[in-house]
A and B are shown apart, each in its own frame.
Chain A
Amino acid sequence: DIQMTQSPSFLSASVGERVTLSCRASQNINKYLDWYQQKLGEAPKLLIYNTNNLHTGIPSRFSGSGSGTDYTLTISSLQPEDVATYFCLQRNSWPLTFGSGTKLEIK
């Protein structure tokens, strides 16, 4: 199985700050990497699919990059509504596997 390691586990940043979240796969996942945002008490929401494709309706301050085993989610200017836990998911091979999440808070 492919293991997905997210870092950091917790991040506190200021409004307007540029924020970078990381996800590392235990083997090459050929850019089949998604990012999800989950706010407290809600279902997860797709932000980015296949590394760098913004899902419909997602603000352009969210972007993704990466290749091989290393992937990044960037929020260009953190907003109060971005407080959430962020998960990555690899869809390169079965079983599909999620990272353990990064909890993002406002400083």
Chain B
Amino acid sequence: EVQLVESGGGLVQPGRSLKLSCAASGFTFSNYYMAWVRQAPKKGLEWVATISTSGSRTYYPDSVKGRFTISRDNAKSSLYLQMNSLKSEDTATYYCARPREGFAYWGQGTLVTVSS
């Protein structure tokens, strides 16, 4: 059974950093691109980042480019999202997702609140 479990969310002040993790199991992690998607409270979904199988290619929307970094450790079947220079508008539930023919699997999400 595919499982994605996010961790690392919490309350952080504007301008500070936070690193999210996603532990994957139930599939060969190194064979799949991985992604992060977020959802602000009572809002819609926003794609945040995607990383290739080896980690050599990464993709971001302009809203986070230069502030967020997606990475992975295939030996640990883990995905990460380093978030720097956080803003109030980054407040959201962050989901780890496995894309291939759509985002077929999602984690339960971890809440990040950016507030002073």
B96 to chain A, nearest CB (A): 10
Q: A98 at interface (Cβ–Cβ under 8 A)? A: yes
Residues of B within 8 A of A66 (CB): none
Q: How many residues of A contact B (CB 8 A)?
A: 25
Bitwise, B85-116 to A at CB < 8 A (1) or not (0) is: 00000000001000101111011110000000
B86 to chain A, nearest CB (A): 20
* Given known contacts A43-B95, A43-B109, A55 and B44 CB-to-CB distance under 8 angstroms: no
Which of A10-18, A21-29, A87-95 has 4 or more CB atoms under 8 Å from chain B?
Answer: A87-95
Q: B11 at interface (Cβ–Cβ under 8 A)? A: no
| A-B contacts at CB below 8 angstroms, number | 57
Contact indicator B102/A98 (Cβ below 8 Å): no
Chain B: which residue is nearest A96 at the CB level? B47
Contact indicator B102/A95 (Cβ below 8 Å): no
* Given known contacts A43-B95, A43-B107, A43-B109, A91 and B102 CB-to-CB distance under 8 angstroms: yes
Residues of A within 8 A of B61 (CB): 1, 94-96
Q: B73 at interface (Cβ–Cβ under 8 A)? A: no
Contact indicator B59/A94 (Cβ below 8 Å): yes
Binding site for B on A (CB under 8 A): 1, 34, 36, 38, 43-46, 48-50, 53, 55-56, 87, 89, 91, 94-101
